[in-house]
């Protein structure tokens, strides 16, 4: 599961990193992005596959056929994308990249749960594999929303959680966005655990436990659990 993440890169860094056209908004740095909040998402139009756009979408997928937006889907298991009706329709045509530079999981020790932040060792932005959809609100206005694909954990994440977000290798990002790629069998290999030796994890303040808190304090290193002092 991925229930909280960070996206602190400046707009010009996102434009350069993901090759998108500069949008008409400037996303604020987010240190504690939570479900139901808006976040920048990268996608392409099927008719112009060489043009990438950056737009804000709500985290928590509301399928187009949903009766209301009360129940949304924040994560989608990579292993069942082609089987679950909510995702099977989206997989061929509505894939996206979700820019991030870190995500949180909670390490349970005794009665406490210590938040951990996981990033690339390089500190650079990366992309979660995502799916998106468009739902019409009662007033007729479209609501664009997305879900983050998850996969099995690598050796760094495994002591903390049995799932991790599907971080795409840079060379695989274009393949995930390619409108011509519609075969689930060709897409599935892209959704593998990210190499553990390219990542690091560290303990952070319990301030991140509340989505109300969204400041640099959330990513400031704190004392990590002893079980995560090792490196993969």
Q: Which of 2, 96, 173, 218 is catalytic?
A: 2
2 is catalytic: yes
CA–CA separation, 229 vs 232, rounded Å?
Answer: 10
Give the whole-angstrom CA distance, residue 183 versus residue 92: 7
Sequence-separated (6 or more) residues with CB below 8 Å from residue 121: 197, 198, 199, 200
Is the dihedral angle over the CA atoms 214, 32, 73, 175 positive or is it negative?
A: positive
CB distance 66 to 135 below 8 Å? yes
Q: Could you say which of 64, 79, 105, 218 is catalytic?
A: 105
Residues 6+ apart with CB under 8 A from 178: 49
Query: Helix and strand tally (H, E) in the chain?
Result: 4, 12
Tell me how crowded residue 192 is: count the other CB atoms within 10 A of its CB.
16
79 included as an active-site residue: no
Residues assigned a catalytic role = 2, 105
């Amino acid at each position: 599961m991925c229930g909280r993440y960070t996206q602190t890169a400046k707009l010009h860094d996102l434009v350069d990193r993901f090759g998108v056209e500069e949008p008409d908004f400037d996303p604020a740095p987010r240190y504690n992005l939570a479900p139901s909040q808006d976040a920048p998402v990268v996608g392409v139009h099927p008719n112009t596959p060489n043009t990438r756009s950056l737009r804000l979408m709500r985290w928590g997928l509301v399928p187009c056929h949903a009766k209301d937006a009360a129940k949304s889907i924040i994560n989608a298991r990579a292993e069942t994308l082609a089987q679950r009706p909510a995702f099977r329709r989206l997989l061929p045509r509505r894939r996206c990249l979700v820019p991030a530079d870190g995500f949180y999981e909670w390490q349970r020790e005794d009665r406490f749960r210590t938040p951990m932040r996981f990033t690339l060792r390089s500190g650079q932005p990366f992309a979660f594999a995502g799916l998106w959809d468009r739902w019409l609100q009662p007033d007729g206005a479209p609501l664009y929303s997305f879900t983050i694909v998850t996969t099995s954990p690598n050796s760094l994440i495994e002591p903390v959680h049995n799932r991790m977000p599907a971080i795409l290798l840079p060379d695989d990002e274009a393949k995930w966005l390619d409108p011509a790629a519609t075969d689930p069998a060709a897409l599935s290999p892209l959704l593998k655990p990210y190499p553990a030796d390219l990542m690091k994890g560290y303990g952070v303040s319990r301030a991140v436990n509340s989505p109300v808190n969204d400041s640099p304090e959330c990513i400031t290193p704190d004392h990590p659990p002893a079980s995560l002092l090792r490196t993969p």
